[in-house]
Amino acid sequence: MVYTSPPGSGTIDINGQSFAITGSPQTETLIGLAADGNGVSVTASFSDEQFCTFTDNILFIAPPECSPCEVIDLTLGVQSPCDPLTNLYTQEIIVTYSNDPGSGTLDVNGQSFSITASPQTVSLTGLVSDGNPVDVTANFSADLGCSLTSNSLFTAPSGCTVGCNANAGTISQ
């Protein structure tokens, strides 16, 4: 802040925060401002000289919201039956999250999906039917720390491949 002829007493008030008058130019740090990505207007005045006021509309842009990304919950959707031709199945997973990173992909057990909106249902495909419990991990490619793992979230269907039980029998001459 640059000023001339300040009053001999009082404070310099900037957006409702008061600071001692130390001399021009004077630098002060405003605290407790909202991180919301919006333009910030600044008004400065002297407490002992009400009519000496300066306002700059949208002096700077606040940083975007800084709430951390969080994967909150993983729940089950529909599981397809085992395909006897391939011994594979599909499992829907519902991923609930907040403050996604805004870029990259949502990755669930190594399969990538475009980020839409929470809660987001994704379909894991090409899963092997083996009857075992399945751990599920969801994270964002642009923020690997934004992750959640749920151990044994579901159980794969049992194997269903139709086997060939050919028996040539006994051949005698």
* Cβ atoms of 38 and 67 closer than 8 Å: no
Of 81, 82, 76, nearest in space to 136 by CA? 76
Amino acid at 55: T
- What pLDDT was estimated at residue 166? 47
Position 81 pLDDT exceeds 50: yes
Average pLDDT, the chain: 92
Position 133 pLDDT exceeds 70: yes
- What pLDDT was estimated at residue 66? 76
Report the range of poorest mean pLDDT among 48-57, 91-100, 102-111, 162-171. 162-171
C-alpha dihedral (95, 96, 100, 102), degrees to nearest 10: 60
User: Which residues are registered as beta bridge partners of 11?
Assistant: 20
Burial grade of 82 (CB within 10 A; 0-12, 13-18, 19 or more): buried
Q: How far apart are alpha carbons 44 and 55 in whole angstroms?
A: 6
Amino acid at 121: T
Mean pLDDT of 136-161: 96
What residue has token string 């999250």? 97
Mean pLDDT of 30-42: 91
